[in-house]
Structure 1
Amino acid sequence: MSSTAPPGSGVRAGPREWIGLAVLALPTILIALDLTVLYMAIPHLGADLKSTNTELLWITDIYGFVIAGFLITMGTLGDRIGRRKLLLIGATAFGAASVLAAYSTSSEMLIASRALLGLAGATLMPSTLALISNMFKDDKQRSMAIGIWLTSFSIGGVVGPAIGGALLEWFWWGSVFLLGAPIMVLLLITGPILLPEYRDSSAGRLDLVSVGLSLAAILPMVYGLKEIAKSGVGVTPLTAIAVGLLVGALFVRRQRTLASPLLDLRLFANRSFTGALVAMLLGQLTLYAFGFYYAQYLQLIEGLSPLQAGVWFLPMGLATIVGALLAPMIAAKFPPAKVIVGGLPIAAAGYVVLAMLDVDSHLALLIAGSVLLAFGINPLLSLSTGLVVGAAPPDKAGSASAMMETSAEFGAGMGIAVFGTIGTAIYSGQIVEALPDDLPASVAATVEDSFAGAFAVAQELPGQAGERLLALGREAFLNGMNVVSAISAVVMVAIAVLVMAALRQVPPIGAEEAVPEESEAPGK
């Protein structure tokens, strides 16, 4: 390995490490961008490939589905074979799969290409974050570097819709995938020069049974959450989640018996590690639920085009950048728990603003709420990420990074599934009472399913009937959004209580622990 000093040793990074961070930001931006840029292309590729609704759902979901399933495996694999090596292997695969996706000639080919992109993406995410922990050994510098890394991920997600809309104005749908190829080529050229290698030379062989159990635990749970988000609570998704939980229990039991486990459960003995992980999950839960409603509001309530809607993601992106970069600087003087808790009331205020929206509200109110939310929640996301990675010993950084990202993935899935279900139940319950009796049953079912369905049906109805249905749909949709936003504000308060209980002992970044915990260095 090229670097042996442990994080926190005081060895400060130089220009090479900061340039290397810029290199690591490239795949991070691309992974996040690939999660959102496709949404704009779905209507175009669906028409070109003659995709069914089921195929379109798989094209959209398979990428995140595979990433979630393989994060833990790839994070641990990077610890064993080398994080830079795995990063470069993943970059090669991601670039090739991007070209394959761009020139797909059938829905099946595109689904397979997206699955390969997800597999490659699972190698990139934990590798980039784990390498940061090796490159930046000074606590303050590492915290700032993680803030920049998180900002790059947020930028990719925020600008994805805008870039997708712009590309589709002038090029064919495959252009949204070709973005990946030149970025990965640049990473392959610069990575060996600027990035250090690090691997755990004492790690044992990868336990393939544990790999299988982790996939059999995570994939059914992710599938169940996604199905609940799309179709509501049902026997199939609940069964899938139950199966995932059962296999997860078997996975945990096996890890306790292995000398070299796939997932080192001793990490959870560190209160800071566990508290930050849970706080991250809850934060992502509310954030992704908000994103679910935000995009629909812009296009269905405000009537904006995909490109216009994408542009209105930018103020939230700017607030994300400021919040993520400012938090580490403040946390160098004040305990991270206080910095996080100081931001959460701002995020809660943003949710309160969103809970006040009605059909006559100006777009500025939505933007104001989103900016407050993004600025206030990013200290939580930035500092909890640093606490998770910093709490793990160097040889477990890849595994810790993968757990952090898996937690975020589950938070995102739970947010859309749980809060999406709550909002849909409110929408359906309200609009079903207002529908005219003479509306055909099949049309009524489409309207009751979602506001997007009501919007499509309203375009086909004559004059006043269509306008009335739109008005009913807007009001019902907003009522659901209001309730979800109000609940999210309460969750911000709950996170604040959790953070103060679990992280209050953590000193300002770069300071010595006042009361060191014996469990702070698992695996050493």
Structure 2
Amino acid sequence: MLPVLLVSVDNTVLAFALPEISAALQPTATQQLWIVDIYPLVLAGLLVPMGSLGDRIGRRRLLLVGATGFAAISAAAACAPSAEWLVAARGALGIFGAMLMPSTMSLLRNIFLDAGQRRLAIAIWASCFAAGAALGPVVGGFLLEHAWWGAAFLLAVPVLIPLLVLAPIFVPESKDPSPGRIDVVSIALSMLAMAPIVFAVKEFAHDGFGPVVAVAAAIGVAATVTFVRRQLGRPDPMLDVRLFTVPTFSGAVAVNLLSVMSLVGFLFFVSQHLQLVIGQSPMQAGLSLVPGLAVMVVAGMSVVAVVRWVQPSAVVVAGLLASASGYALVFLFASPTAVTPIIVAFAVLGAGIGAAETLSNDLIVSSVPATKAGAASAVSETAYEIGAVLGTAVLGSILTASYRTHLELPAGLDAGRTEAARQTLGGAHAVAETLPTGSADALLAAAGEAFDSGVTITSLVGVVLMVVSAVVAWRTLSEHRNDGPHGEAEMV
């Protein structure tokens, strides 16, 4: 659980450290973008190859290699003397991070053979994501108040050293007894498939459609088609793409992607609303989200007992509809100055996603042979990564477009300030700091109203996403029955 907790905390901490990183290293706008984006691009491209590599050489061995590299590079990133150094370090962290996540879930699949125990283990695994997301803003706020920005990266060292000491003692090794040959071409195609697509989505969200987006998307699609054809033609594919013809597997992957997209999109606008509209500090905003994340953990743990009597597909569908209700509450009841409706809405959404994600991850790893657990886990992690990118890109773009459309600026602003205020809510706050009190108050009020109009539209999109996800789950997961007398899942 240690690497899962670390990766979840690390994702949130970086966002809070960016202002201090910018002040210390003076990156250009392009360099700052790459500091953020290089990690998920490399990670997304390598998850499937690393999951397959773990099946081959041993999941525990790959986990330890990844942990060693991640800790060492994190220390190097903390001491980065320049923006270029930090970009390179973040890219290397993506390589070693791709070794960590598929290894953890595939190890659970092979350690816990009893279906009930496995489901509980995966519930705890998923809970560590929620706990890390809750700790990230709090820990990040504390560190940045008492230390320099590099402390955000040094978090990895005390977390991973116990893993390196204890994992060889307590975690048994497992791997595919009959692995295929290493396929360098498939590894390259996997990276060419995933990284350009993720990049295209991010660029589209930031700058709109253009030649760069079109070329990146075309490269990604062409590489994906070539990758699939190569896997179908090989007797020992790196990833058995025929798994996607299994409704339970493909449906659970789709549920993962849409759920994470919805969750990340929610956090994207709520974190800004709490800090820039309501006026909370980063640490206060993080604490406001803790109740919802706690509910997410409890819901994920509770469904382990519930599915003894209720079909997993019914629980997943109910969870996704509950998440839709959380978005609906934001649309119906949230006000610009009220924190309680946001907390309640996030708790409802978190309960639904906690229940759905635990079971969808369990269905992914249990619907494939244990020897292929690494590759299946990597597909699940890839769905997480793409869902997170889409959550920020799609929902964030909708929110930004609505903000710009509805923003009515007070008179008297010059062209530079007008453009800065129209870009983002944060830009409006930066402009307000340069204005007299009356003009600043008028600008902040207008920006808050425009932002909340975007939240309304984004919430409706979130409701639609969760309903679509529920329909997908109902159509694809209904073939999956509860555990049979021998503990393994039965199919009809």
TMscore range, shorter length:
over 0.9
* 1:482 match: 456
Shift of 1:44: 1.5
1:89-488 pair list within 5 angstroms? 89-357=65-333, 359-431=335-407, 434-436=408-410, 438-488=412-462
Task: Check conservation: 1:159, 1:313, Cα contact below 8 A.
Answer: no
1:502 aligns with 2:480: no
Look up the match of 1:17. none
User: Among 57, 62, 68, which residue is 2:38 paired with?
Assistant: 62
Code of the residue aligned with 2:69 in structure 1: it is A
On the 8 A contact 1:143/1:509 being kept in 2, the answer is no
CA distance in 2, matches of 1:448, 1:514: 53
Q: CA deviation digits over 1:480-501, x for unaligned, max 9?
A: 1111111211222222222111
Please tell me the residue identity of whatever aligns with 1:176.
A
Letter in 1 for 2:114: D
Per-residue CA deviation, residues 191-244 of structure 1 (Å, 9 max, x unaligned), is 111111111121121110111111111111111111223333433224312321
Unmatched runs of 5 consecutive residues or more in structure 2 = none
Q: Is the 8 A contact 2:277 2:336 kept in 1?
A: no
Percent same amino acid among aligned pairs? 42
Q: Do 1:333 and 1:509's aligned partners in 2 also have CA atoms closer than 8 Å?
A: no
What secondary structure, in the 3-state scheme, does the structure 2 residue paired with 1:312 have? helix
Q: TM-score by structure 1 length?
A: 0.90
Instruction: Answer whether contact 2:66 2:97 (CA < 8 A) is retained.
Output: yes
Shifted more, 42-51 versus 201-210: the winner is 42-51
**Gap regions ≥5 residues in structure 1:** 1-24, 518-524
Query: Closer, same or farther in 2 for the Cα pair 1:477/1:357, shift >3 Å?
Result: farther
* Pair 1:291–1:232, CA change in 2 (3 A): farther
2:50 matches 1:50: no
Paired amino acid for 2:284: Q
Q: CA deviation digits over 1:386-442, x for unaligned, max 9?
A: 0000001011100000001101111111121111111111111111xx235643223
Runs of 4+ in 1 over 6 A off after TM superposition: 512-515
CA contact (8 A) 2:278 2:338 kept: no
State the 1:343 CA deviation: 2.0
Q: Between 189-198 and 488-497, report the one with greater CA deviation.
A: 488-497
1:328–1:514 Cα change, 3 Å: closer
Structure 1 residues 255 and 286: CA distance shift in structure 2, 3 A = same
User: Does the 8 A contact of 1:62 with 1:111 survive in 2?
Assistant: yes
What SS does the aligned partner of 2:97 have?
helix
Specify whether residues 167 and 339 from structure 1 end up closer, same or farther in structure 2 by C-alpha distance, changes over 3 A only.
Answer: same
Please report how far the alpha carbon of residue 51 of structure 1 lies from its aligned counterpart in structure 2 after TM superposition. Answer: 2.2
- Report the RMSD for the aligned CA atoms in angstroms: 1.7
* Counterpart contact for 2:22–2:32, Cα < 8 Å: yes
The amino acid of 1:441's aligned partner reads A
- d(CA) in 2 for partners of 1:493 and 1:31? 29
> Structure 1's 234 and 417: CA in aligned 2 closer, same or farther, altered over 3 A?
farther
Q: Is the 8 A contact 1:455 1:470 kept in 2?
A: yes
Aligned partner of residue 421 in structure 1, secondary structure: helix
Q: Secondary structure at the match of 1:105?
A: coil
